[in-house]
Structure 1
């Protein structure tokens, strides 16, 4: 079956997600995060793209980029090859580091642009890795107003009047969870149970507890890609909400991600 053609952004702005192959961690030590940002900076200079936001998570990366002449596929390929080559040499591994096809969404209007920036910045808060976005070391939110590889002047220029303050306002884990309580659930408990069984074979919380950590992590990641809430996953697996958030996290790297 042929791949669907990648959508082209008339604005030149894309929200990109690069994920580790098999959802494996792509950052194991602080040096790895620093090296990825170096590769991103080098890619920015070579391709002429502008970095508007970024967030490095244990097994994936969110980027908001405005491309110039080089298409988005070439930009991300350049970035992925640079970092993966270094990572593989460091850890003595071979093969792909990232999933073959990265995700990209064109950003064509002001409202979506603001929501994408906010989503990228809030990612570590929603995952339980930081109490607030500006405390997370591996997010461009932390470096607002300070020199960084982000083109902050361009970011502010693209923001509608007053939107920058809204996007950068402090949100905590509890405030994000409170905002979600008013949303209607997308799936019933039975539907979540069926999805869990399909993902890992577990037909009860007791079955799930006997799975390896790797199998638990893969199942949770699969349910999250289907927009199943942390609370529903917790009820289906018998784990706590915080455990569900953290089960797939690369421990040492993220433990040092918050100052």
Structure 2
């Protein structure tokens, strides 16, 4: 989707507290900023901050070199608020650490509300298996930037 069409991602978007969402966002120009371990951990800290603020409950996530997949249960904020805060804080942390890539994140994000009949564990397994499918590791346990509540 071109930048001129990115507003179409928002069409029909709703935020329902208690609902499960799979969120995906990518770095600007797909730059692999998170190949750097320290930079990746700064972003992970901001994922955890969102949960500490009770904006969401993280069920599973994986931070790839140039994008994030995040399975959440939304609490009393909107998806837009959650993602705006996360991207803002993570960008600030990265810039403070010396990352000169500006902006860090591509505008917008993709969200998919999970249907009740979908297996949440199946979606979580799909998320954490991303490093395997990308050929980054031969065992998901060897990839340092993921988590799931079922561990």
* TM-score bin, normalised by smaller chain: 0.7 to 0.9
Determine which structure has more spread, i.e. the larger CA radius of gyration.
Answer: 1
Alignment of 1:21-32 (within 5 A): 21-32=28-39
Residue 55 (str. 1) matches residue 62 (str. 2): yes
Q: Are 2:17 and 2:73, in contact at CA under 8 Å, matched by a contact in 1?
A: no
State TM-score, norm by structure 1.
Answer: 0.51
Paired residue for 1:124? 131
State the match for 1:40 in structure 2: 47
Name the Cα RMSD after superposition.
2.2
The residue aligned with 1:71 is: 78
Structure 2 residue 115 is the aligned partner of structure 1 residue 108: yes
In 2: Cα distance, 1:5 partner to 1:88 partner:
33
2:96 to 64, 89, 94: 89
Q: Which runs of 5+ in 1 are unaligned?
A: 142-151, 157-167, 169-259
TM-score relative to the length of structure 2: 0.83
Unaligned runs of 5+ in 2: none
Count of matched residue pairs: 144
Structure (1 or 2) with the greater helix fraction: 1
Q: Tell me the distance in 2 between the aligned counterparts of 1:133 and 1:92.
A: 27
Contact 2:23–2:111 (CA under 8 A) maintained in structure 1: yes
Matched, 1:13 2:14: no
* Cα separation, 2, equivalents of 1:68 and 1:36: 20
> Aligned ranges for residues 165-244 of structure 1 at < 5 Å?
none
Relative to its length, the structure with more strand (as a share) is 2
